[in-house]
Amino acid sequence: QGSLLYLDALGAAFPRALARRGTALLHWTPGCPRAPAGWPLPTLYCTPALAGTLLSRAAALRVQLLFALRQRALHVLEVGLAAELHDALVALHTEWPQLAQELALGRLSPQPGLPEGVRDQLQALLTPDAARAAELRAECTRGFDGIALRLWPQLEVVVVRTAHGAERLYCDSLRQADCRGLPFYCPFYQAAGALLGVNLWPVEPSPRFLLCPDWAFCEFLPCTANKESRTVLLDELWEGREYGLVVTAQPGEYRCRTGEVLRVAGFHKQCPVVEPVRRESQMLSVRGESIPEEQFCQSLCRTLKMWPGARLIDYICVESSLLGDSSGPCAPHYEVFMELQGLRDLSEGQRYKLDQCLQEDFPIYKSFRFKGSIGPLRLHLVRPGTFTRLREALGSPLPMSRVLCEEQLLRLVQGSVIS
Q: Which of 129-138, 168-177, 250-259, 329-338 is predicted with the least confidence, judged by mean pLDDT?
A: 250-259
For 180, 198, 270, 384, the CA distances from 337, given in Å and listed in that order, are 27, 35, 45, 12
* Mean pLDDT across the chain: 90
The pTM of this model reads 0.90
Helix (H) or strand (E) holding 283: strand 283-284
8 A C-beta contact, residue 174 and residue 84: no
Q: Are strands 209-211 and 271-279 parallel, antiparallel or unpaired?
A: antiparallel
- The whole-number average pLDDT for the span 402-418 is 91
- The whole-number average pLDDT for the span 156-177 is 90
8 A C-beta contact, residue 219 and residue 232: yes
Query: Which residue pairs, CB below 8 angstroms and at least 24 apart, start in 4-9?
Result: 5/198, 5/200, 6/37, 6/39, 6/187, 6/188, 6/198, 6/199, 7/39, 9/187, 9/198, 9/199, 9/200, 9/201, 9/202
For 88, 125, 187, the CA distances from 271, given in Å and listed in that order, are 37, 46, 17
The residue that leads in pLDDT, 112 or 42, is: 112
d(CA 60, CA 40): 20
**b/e code 83-99 from CB counts within 10 Å (16+ = b):** bbbbbbbbbbeebbeeb
d(CA 95, CA 391): 19
Longest CA–CA separation in the chain, Å: 68
For residue 278, what pLDDT band results from cuts at 50, 70 and 90? confident
- The whole-number average pLDDT for the span 98-121 is 94
**Burial grade of 358 (CB within 10 A; 0-12, 13-18, 19 or more):** buried
In the sheet that 311-319 helps form, which strands lie side by side, from edge to edge? 311-319, 334-341, 378-381
Cα distance between the two ends of the chain: 51
For residue 228, what pLDDT band results from cuts at 50, 70 and 90? low
Enumerate residues 6+ apart whose C-beta is below 8 A from 216.
194, 195, 196, 247, 248, 249, 250
- The whole-number average pLDDT for the span 291-314 is 90
8 A C-beta contact, residue 301 and residue 313: no
Q: What is the pLDDT of residues 364-401, one digit of tens each?
A: 999 999 999 999 999 999 999 999 999 999 888 888 88
- The whole-number average pLDDT for the span 61-77 is 96
For residue 190, what pLDDT is reported? 87
Q: Cα–Cα–Cα angle for 369, 371, 374, nearest 5°? A: 40
The residue that leads in pLDDT, 35 or 392, is: 392
Residue 37 has pLDDT above 60, yes or no: no
In the sheet that 256-268 helps form, which strands lie side by side, from edge to edge? 188-191, 194-198, 209-211, 271-279, 256-268, 242-248, 217-222
Beta bridge partners of 291: 284
